[in-house]
Amino acid sequence: MASIQAPFRVLPRTSFLLGSRRSWTCTACKYGSPRTFQRGVATTPTQTPGEFKKPYYVTTPIFYVNAAPHVGHFYTMVIADILKRWQVLLGNTDAQLLTGTDEHGMKIQQAALAAGMDTQAFCDMNCRTFEALAKAANLNNDHFIRTTDPAHREAVQYFWEMLQHRGYIYTSKHEGWYSVSDETFYPQTQVQNSLDPATGRKRMVSIETGKEVEWSSETNYHFRLSAFKDRLLELYKRKDSFITPSKYSTSIIQSVSSGLQDLSISRPAERLTWGIPVPGDNTQTIYVWLDALVNYLTRAGYPFPPGQENNSMWPANVHVVGKDIVRFHCVYWPAFLMALDLPLPRNVLVHGHWTMNREKMSKSTGNVVNPFFAIDRFGVDSMRFFLAYQGGFSDDADYDNAFIIRDYKKLLQGGIGNLAARSIGLAKGKLGSYIKDGTSNNLPVPTPADVEHQKMLVLTPRKVAGHMKALNPRAALQEIMSIIEKTNKYFHATEPWKNPNHQWVLFNVAESLRISGIMLQPFMPAKSLELLEMLRVDTSNPAKIGFSAAVYGSDSEYGEGAKKGHLFPPLLTED
């Protein structure tokens, strides 16, 4: 990382190279009345702090537009969307979800050049693809941010000014191995010699990512990251874990404990022009990762007016990130915020990667999955279900069309769909009366099997809520699907088609489907509502489909006129 060749020197708001000074007005001064956040809108402050209720704030990383999105981007979007939708299900209707695109840096500059396009036009084109994916994924995001947005540029420059004003920025010569692909410097201990398999050429690569590095020596700005070692270690020891799953804390703690070197946070404009200029110095461009991370604050209305910091949706409740960007979100980002005494995000939820044949997906090897093709083939809710059900947090997960087909047939078509069709068909148009009799306790004495199933339906929603509170949507979904599995076994064991006193069975099965349908809404928004409507649950009434309604026997008004349908029809193509 940083190689300090001279004593620390804090710069004024002028260039450290003569002749490059330019006029600069800080954002707060320029706008006069700084923005704050009020229910998703950047506005002039109108509330007193006591009147404001902070929305639950979830973010995805902003995705790099140097190439088309793949299934990993889709997965990250889905996990973040599930967390946001779960909050809405709980009644937090002002919950916010942010996604967007990272459009600055060396990779973008080079990719646009290779494509023979104007850089902004290149960003505009690729940004639209990520916006299209968010729409195709049925993402319930409240905003799509771009780092080329004027508001973000102003927020980043103000953020820089504040770091500089507090003495956390200085200039120094920087030498090290730089990866254009990773947009980061690596010390000697983190690089190694390698042979390019395509050409046989010797090259230096990052041990962590395998990306090629080149030796770089330049004078630029640095952030005093080393000053935050102790505070960061205290953060990682917090009882309410900052990093989830805790597996990822171990390597971060080891890395920070071994010592932090100061971070290079600018690049010479002669090498990198596509980015946000350093305030007061157009010979330097702000490091893309400092630029990108501020996006979470930009959406929250940064810079905050004095005394109004608590009138914003900041801090984020959850940053959802892939395991390859943990260092940026769990070391650099909290250190930047600590330097300005800004609240820290409450949790960083880390997930693993998707592999193919147990090998990491890579554009260079061609083993990436086009998410648009997958959605077109299997349907968006089926894909959301598969990714959430099989995706890994502590570990990677393997992707294969055969796995999607397997889960579709067994869990969706043969599980939820078959159970709904058979139970509604067996009720022969009388499901509504069974519901009324069951909720009014006007049925024969239940058997031990009936009582056991009722207990399961009472306890499972609490378990699901516990998993979601612990930021484990995969475990939550598997818990929901355990209702379907157990209900199918209960249905077969009791054989209600042979038993004239089968009212309790049909009531319990209907309740299993209703409760499952309510809790499946964050995971499969369209199919879950289709299931509830098949049961004739009043989906126009929020009180009937919120989490508070996922209580055994709490709805006596559904079932009338229920007709079986094909909730999960056969797939058109299978392989």
Torsion region of 62: left, alpha or beta (phi above 0 gives left; psi -120 to 50 gives alpha): beta
Residue 179 pLDDT greater than 90, yes or no: no
Give me the percent of the chain exceeding a pLDDT of 90: 74
* Mean residue pLDDT across the chain: 88
Q: Retrieve residue 275's tokens.
A: 């980015």
* CA separation for the pair 204, 87 (Å, rounded): 46
* CA separation for the pair 573, 180 (Å, rounded): 41
Q: Helix axis angle, 448-469 relative to 473-494, nearest 10°?
A: 170
Cβ contacts of residue 112 below 8 Å, gap of 6+?
118, 119, 121, 122, 123, 274
Q: What is the pLDDT of residue 364?
A: 60
How many separate helices (H) and strands (E) can be counted in the chain?
Answer: 21, 21
Give me the percent of the chain exceeding a pLDDT of 70: 87
Q: What is the pLDDT of residue 1?
A: 35
- The CATH number that domain 402-549 falls under is 1.10.730.10
Mean pLDDT of 398-427: 96
Q: What is the pLDDT of residue 3?
A: 34
Mean pLDDT of 321-333: 97
* 3-state SS, one letter per residue, for 463-486: HHHHHHHCCCHHHHHHHHHHHHHH
Residue 137 pLDDT greater than 70, yes or no: yes
Tell which wins on pLDDT, 445 or 378: 378
Q: What is the pLDDT of residue 183?
A: 63
Cβ contacts of residue 58 below 8 Å, gap of 6+?
80, 83, 84, 87, 95, 96, 97, 98, 316, 317, 318, 320
Q: Retrieve residue 522's tokens.
A: 């964050």
Mean pLDDT of 296-315: 90
Q: What is the pLDDT of residue 406?
A: 97
- Measure Cα distances from 283 to 21, 156, 168, 223, 287 in Å: 9, 17, 20, 18, 13
* Beta-carbon-side half-sphere exposure of residue 9 (alpha carbons within 13 Å): 16
Residue 127 pLDDT greater than 70, yes or no: yes
Q: What is the pLDDT of residue 14?
A: 34
Tell which wins on pLDDT, 25 or 542: 542
Mean pLDDT of 540-560: 97
Range name among 273-287, 327-341, 434-448, 513-527 with the lowest pLDDT average: 434-448
Q: What is the pLDDT of residue 381?
A: 98
Write the pLDDT tens digit of every residue in 202-235.
788 777 677 787 877 788 999 999 999 999 999 9
Residue 509 pLDDT greater than 50, yes or no: yes
Percent of the chain that is helix, strand, coil (3-state, to 5): 45, 15, 40
5 pLDDT tier (thresholds 50, 70, 90): very low
Residue 35 pLDDT greater than 50, yes or no: no
Domain ranges of the chain: 402-549
Amino acid residing at 552: Y
> Which candidate, 365, 414, 411, places its Cα nearest to that of 388?
411
Strand partners, 223: 169, 263
Burial of 104 (0-12, 13-18, 19+ CB in 10 A): buried
- Find the DSSP H helices in 306-367: 326-327, 333-339
Q: What is the pLDDT of residue 173?
A: 75
Residue 119 pLDDT greater than 70, yes or no: yes
Contact between residue 161 and residue 276 where contact means Cβ atoms under 8 Å apart: no
First to last CA, the chain: 49
Write the pLDDT tens digit of every residue in 346-373.
999 999 999 988 887 766 666 789 999 9
Beta-sheet pairing, 277-278 with 318-322 = unpaired
* CA separation for the pair 316, 339 (Å, rounded): 17
Range name among 67-76, 197-206, 454-463 with the lowest pLDDT average: 197-206
Mean pLDDT of 289-306: 95
Tell which wins on pLDDT, 191 or 548: 548
Mean pLDDT of 124-153: 98
Determine the distance from the C-alpha atom of residue 151 to the mean position of all C-alpha atoms in its chain, rounded to a whole number: 22
Mean pLDDT of 493-502: 86
* CA separation for the pair 331, 182 (Å, rounded): 16
Write the pLDDT tens digit of every residue in 512-530.
999 999 999 999 999 999 9
Range name among 101-105, 118-122, 201-205 with the lowest pLDDT average: 201-205
